[in-house]
Structure 1
Amino acid sequence: MGRAFEFRKERKFKRWAKMAVQFTRLGKEIAIAVKEGGPHLESNSRLRTAVQNGKAVNMPKDRIEAAIKRASEKDSKGYEEHVYEGYGPHGVPILIETATDNTNRTVANIRSYFAKAGGSLGKTGSLDFIFQRKSIFRFAAGEELDVEELELELIDGGLEELYIEEDEEGNDVVVVQTSFEDFGNMQKLLEEKGIDVKSAKLERINLSNTEVSEEASAEVMKLVDKIEEDDDVQAVYHNMV
């Protein structure tokens, strides 16, 4: 009984910690969107997307509204977005997206993580041949949804790929992929069709894989976990299998 309770308690704590990180990152995305296009959802598609993604992970409504209000204030701090690329242990490529109010701090931290793990930070663009930026939309696959028909209808929005995956709760989710440039076109088309998109993101898709041993994988993931703990980091990608 005692062990089971402690295990459930630990799992609950980890879920809370994960949610806290997600909320912080989405709060930054909301702030960036407000600074770029203003606080009104109707006229700011990036803000609309950020709020949409917040709702998808159960970010409280009052927290979303507070983030928008805070970013709308004249003296609120802004964030700069930067991408860092390098090679971790065993030559595994790692790409990091950040949003920061202090670039010097961020790059110093990222360089330190790589150095301590026996890796190295590279030049921006050095991993473009491995990671390609794509627009990824996800929404529930209802029983009435005709996937084949929808696939034809979304071609005008720049559809590259459409497939079904399962979410953490075992529910079927439709995944729509387009090029980075077609994000706005597909977002508009899905809105016009009345599709309730749960998340809309620009993600990095790896074009090749690096195979490593189980022991090597553990070393790389230790570095990835360390990077993900940094408050300035928004997303981390690797191509390890």
Structure 2
Amino acid sequence: MAGHSKFKNIMHRKGAQDKKRSAMFSKLSREITVAAKMGAPDPDMNPRLRLAINNAKAQSMPKDNIQRAIDKAAAAGGEDYEEIRYEGYGPGGVALIVEALTDNRNRTATNVRTAFSKNGGNLGASGAVSHGFERKGLIEYGPGAGDEDKVLEAAIEAGADDVESGEDGHTIWTDMEALHEVAGALEKTLGEAESVKLAWKPNITVALDESNAATLLKLVDTLDDDDDVQTVWGNYEVSDEIMEKLS
């Protein structure tokens, strides 16, 4: 197990998720509703719902909002959301996976395709890039969880696969099937995580120069701003120096 590595900017820049609070809550609510609809409305009986609720709480989403999203799943005539994954390439040959929840497949496909084409990318067929990623469990803690050694020790004890620590916090990777078990064990030693989710981890990463990084981040921002898009994953790395220039 690695104790530290330079695995940055893989999902997106820190703080991108909370730049628009209402949009973030909308996406969290949609995931809660879908999770409750697919299984029991009780988080103790539904691991996906428990995950969605925990992530909503980590973003300080009000309890009333969470309950409304659960109730919406049982409401007659409610929206039926479909899970869709889009795959494509961005500037510099970066591979991107876009996960969406939508009630209108045509609208979402058009928006995603337009975002790619207008920002130096192109949408590919299903499976075009996912072979270069692994489906993994991802647990994130802020720096307040402890120093690198403490988090590494806790992660080893919990059965995690890999840990990456930096000044922004700690990223812990697990087998997809072990995510809930590892997250539960870590909560006992480190407290509640900032985020617990299934993720796409790239097998290799692509370092971008300033020009390609600027275009790529615009593409990711455009995708992230779409109400139907839940998460954007990529195999890109942008140096701290370039990121500072672009922020």
CA distance in 2, matches of 1:166, 1:45: 31
Q: Kindly report which structure 2 residues correspond to 1:191-202, keeping only aligned pairs within 5 A, or say none.
A: 195-202=191-198
CA distance in 1, matches of 2:166, 2:97: 24
CA distance in 2, matches of 1:105, 1:16: 24
Q: Residue 119 of structure 2 is aligned with which of 117, 122, 126?
A: 117
CA distance in 2, matches of 1:192, 1:15: 26
Q: Could you tell me which residue of structure 2 aligns to residue 215 of structure 1? A: 211
TM-aligned CA deviation for residue 212 of structure 1: 2.9
Structure 1 alignment gaps of length 5 or more:
1-13, 168-172
CA distance in 2, matches of 1:227, 1:101: 17
On the 8 A contact 1:87/1:120 being kept in 2, the answer is yes
Bigger relative contact order, structure 1 or 2 (CA pairs below 8 A, ≥6 apart)? 2
SS in 2 for 1:41: coil
Q: Kindly report which structure 2 residues correspond to 1:1-241, keeping only aligned pairs within 5 A, or say none.
A: 17-139=19-141, 141=145, 147=151, 149-155=153-159, 159-167=160-168, 173-190=169-186, 195-241=191-237
Moved over 6 A (4+): 191-194
TM-aligned CA deviation for residue 102 of structure 1: 0.9
CA displacement, residues 168-206 of structure 1 (integer Å, 9 cap, x when unaligned):
xxxxx5543112232243345456779534421112222
Amino acid across the alignment from 2:70: I
SS in 2 for 1:106: helix
Identity of matched residues, %: 37
Amino acid across the alignment from 2:145: A
Q: Structure 1 pair 76/165, CA: closer, same or farther in 2 (3 Å)? A: farther
Structure of higher CA gyration radius: 1
Q: Structure 1 pair 149/94, CA: closer, same or farther in 2 (3 Å)? A: closer
On the 8 A contact 2:161/2:174 being kept in 1, the answer is yes
Alignment length (residue pairs): 219
CA distance in 1, matches of 2:140, 2:93: 32
Amino acid across the alignment from 2:207: E
Structure 2 alignment gaps of length 5 or more:
1-15, 238-247
Q: Structure 1 pair 220/175, CA: closer, same or farther in 2 (3 Å)? A: closer
CA distance in 2, matches of 1:181, 1:200: 13
SS in 2 for 1:231: coil
Amino acid across the alignment from 1:138: E
Amino acid across the alignment from 2:213: S
CA distance in 1, matches of 2:150, 2:18: 36
Q: Structure 1 pair 87/31, CA: closer, same or farther in 2 (3 Å)? A: same
CA distance in 1, matches of 2:48, 2:161: 21
Amino acid across the alignment from 1:51: I
CA distance in 1, matches of 2:94, 2:104: 27
Cα RMSD (Å) of the superposition? Answer: 2.7
